[in-house]
Amino acid sequence: MHDINLIPQKKEKKSAKSFFTLMVLLGICAIIVAHGYGPYVQWHQLRYYYNNQKKILGQYETVGEDFDQITRELTELRQKKESLSHITEGEYSWSSVLSQIEKGIPPSTILTSMVYNNHFLTIEGKCPTDIEAAQLATYLQNTGLFKDVNIESIIEDMSSRKNVFIINCSLAVNTKRGKFSEEGEG
């Protein structure tokens, strides 16, 4: 088959049409990429922002937990201060010391003797296990009323099936006639 058209066709128009079509296609592709790439970038930015906010929130939660712990400890210290305020303000009585000791006695523990001599207090008692004696010694140390608290001995008494313990400590402040003083005698 031969082309019988005697009018020669301009090839420039055909190439111009191809060029125009190619430019339109490239423009459409650019628009598609631009619309697809923009949300993609925004998605990554939002994801980055979300992760940062999540980290900050985690830090605030940790700070909140720390604050709650410190608040509990502060409340406990205020209660100790209030229970010892009459002692630190110079008002002192053996009944307050005995009351503090009584608060720390574990269940099933019996005090058999308390001796105060030359600023030292010796407490003897009986308990089912050595754990109770350790609990009492720890309590006495934590009250702030006693210092140098130590367990001198824990011996098992076969007849009563209990442990006999001796705890030594000294008052954190010296006493004289029912009041605290710098130098005192009990």
Instruction: Kindly state whether residues 104 and 159 are assigned to the same domain.
Output: yes
CA distance 154 to 15: 108
Out of 89, 105, 130, a domain closes at 89
The domain total for the chain is 2
- pLDDT, residue 72, reads 92
Write down the pLDDT at residue 167. Answer: 96
107 class by beta-carbon count within 10 Å (0-12 exposed, 13-18 middle, 19+ buried):
exposed
Cβ atoms of 87 and 96 within 8 Å: the answer is yes
Q: Are 125 and 110 in contact (CB under 8 A)?
A: yes
Both 103 and 72 in a single domain? no
For residue 6, is pLDDT > 70?
no
- Rounded to two decimals, the pTM is 0.47
Please indicate, yes or no, if residue 2 is contained in any of the structural domains: no
Query: How far is residue 134's CA from residue 63's CA, in Å, rounded to a whole number?
Result: 34
Mean residue pLDDT across the chain:
79
**Does residue 104 sit within a domain?**
yes
Question: Domain boundary residue among 89, 122, 141?
Answer: 89
6 lies in a domain?
no
Domain span at residue 143 reads 92-180
